[in-house]
Amino acid sequence: MVDIFVYIIFIFIIKTNGFLFDDKEDLILLPSVAFRDHSKISSTNWIVSNQGWYYEEDPLQAKVMEKILEKTIEKDFDINRIKLFTADGQENKKVCIDNFNQSICTHTDHEGRIKNTFQISKNEIDQLIQSDINGTKILYQQSVFNKNIRTIGEIYLCDDNGITFISDIDDTIKVTGVTSSTETLMNTFTGSYKSVLGMSDIYQYWQKKYNATFAYLTASPDQLYPFLREFINREKFPLGSFHMRHFTWFDTNFISFFMSNNYIESKTEAIDMFLNNTLNRRFILIGDIFQKDPDIYASIYMKYPNRIEKIFIRKYKNDTIGQQRLEQIFNNIPQENWATFEIGSDLPKDIFLV
């Protein structure tokens, strides 16, 4: 422990002497969604959401954090992943979307986050639209006012009809081990992210078969977005929107953030947003037994029973206590509307066969 304190004092001296490093600033944009505007009968507009985070790195704090983590768990931590947790959100900064017919500006909130929704016309969407196997989306460029910082973002269109798979990430498609804090830290901050066997194959299959869109709903903070995106790309999971939390040091301590259940509300709201903003689109919800997905998905099912086609929950086959828990939680849901799996090949190729 002593050498960490020496290190902190060393950093303190460097900082207070004004010997400043070139702290990098950047803008992360999370892939978001657009829905048709149903607020007025005559409207042909789309309601578009824009989510991101504008931050400045603090390399020294990252180094301290790395040392502390490496003392706690004797592993090499990836400094790039830690950096985003020790970075400072840039508050109340003007950011603008540059490539639409009108420049659309907003300000970051007190955490440096961008959370904006705005409308654009059907005509303009039609001009920007790109359709390929990875979905129907528009790209936009957002920049920080008066700075040379710009990022390309994606918006996935979620029309009234069609099929969307809403999937959790940790322990559903990615091996995380959320029931143990040591494993969670290791699988989050060390090594390269590993996929649950066969999940990418079945997701790609469903995407093609149902012309489906995907949305990734996770309790992980958006500070991990770049690394989760690398994982999704590398493993060739279908691309789609991301719905994540945000970590701040004021809320909570680091480990309890990863272990807490306070994402229930934010996950429920995100799923509700999809259902509430689409008239006939049908949904398949995929999660795991290790956290609260079954409870969240059951309550959504009870609210929209005709639009939740299926719920899939990942659990170990030998987990009989878990099976009993699920039977209780899904007590009011028809047997054919939910199922469990351990790996991708346990999942049915045809969702609609009873």
The DSSP annotation for 128-173 comes to: H-EEETTEEEEEEEEEETTSS-EEEEEEEE--SSSEEEEE--BTTT
Applying the rule CB under 6 A, the residues between 251 and 280 that interact with ligand NAG are 276, 279
For ligand NAG, the binding residue among 192, 318, 332, 335 (CB under 6 A) is 318
Strands 135-144 and 150-157: antiparallel
Q: Residue 39 interacts with ligand NAG (CB under 6 A)?
A: no
Q: Residue 345 interacts with ligand NAG (CB under 6 A)?
A: no
Distance of closest approach, residue 121 Cβ to ligand NAG, in angstroms: 5
For ligand NAG, the binding residue among 43, 134, 141, 252 (CB under 6 A) is 134
Q: Residue 80 interacts with ligand NAG (CB under 6 A)?
A: no
Applying the rule CB under 6 A, the residues between 162 and 191 that interact with ligand NAG are 162
Give the Å distances, CA to CA, from 54 to 79, 145, 186: 19, 12, 26
Which is nearer to ligand NAG, 33 or 82 (by Cβ)? 33
For ligand NAG, the binding residue among 72, 80, 123, 320 (CB under 6 A) is 123
Q: How far apart are CA 46 and CA 66, in angstroms?
A: 44
Q: Please choose, out of 21-29, 42-50, 120-128, 247-255, the segment that lies near ligand NAG by the rule CB under 6 A.
A: 120-128
Angle at 238 between CA 203 and CA 184, to 5 degrees: 80
Q: Residue 211 interacts with ligand NAG (CB under 6 A)?
A: yes
Which residues, other chains included, contact 99 with Cβ-Cβ below 8 Å and sequence gap of 6+?
Answer: 128, 139, 140, 141
Q: Residue 198 interacts with ligand NAG (CB under 6 A)?
A: no
For ligand NAG, the binding residue among 22, 132, 336, 350 (CB under 6 A) is 132
Q: Residue 316 interacts with ligand NAG (CB under 6 A)?
A: yes
Distance of closest approach, residue 220 Cβ to ligand NAG, in angstroms: 18
Which is nearer to ligand NAG, 13 or 152 (by Cβ)? 152
Which residues, other chains included, contact 90 with Cβ-Cβ below 8 Å and sequence gap of 6+?
Answer: 25, 54, 55, 56, 108, 112
What is the Rg, in whole angstroms, of the alpha carbon atoms belonging to the chain?
21
For ligand NAG, the binding residue among 224, 239, 284, 308 (CB under 6 A) is 239
Helix (H) or strand (E) holding 54: strand 46-56
How far is residue 191 CA from its own chain's centroid? 20
Which is nearer to ligand NAG, 74 or 132 (by Cβ)? 132
The answer to whether the CB of 320 falls within 8 A of the CB of 173 is no
Where does this chain bind ligand NAG (CB under 6 A)?
A: 38, 101, 121, 123-124, 127, 131-134, 136, 159, 162, 211, 213, 233, 236, 239, 276, 279, 316, 318
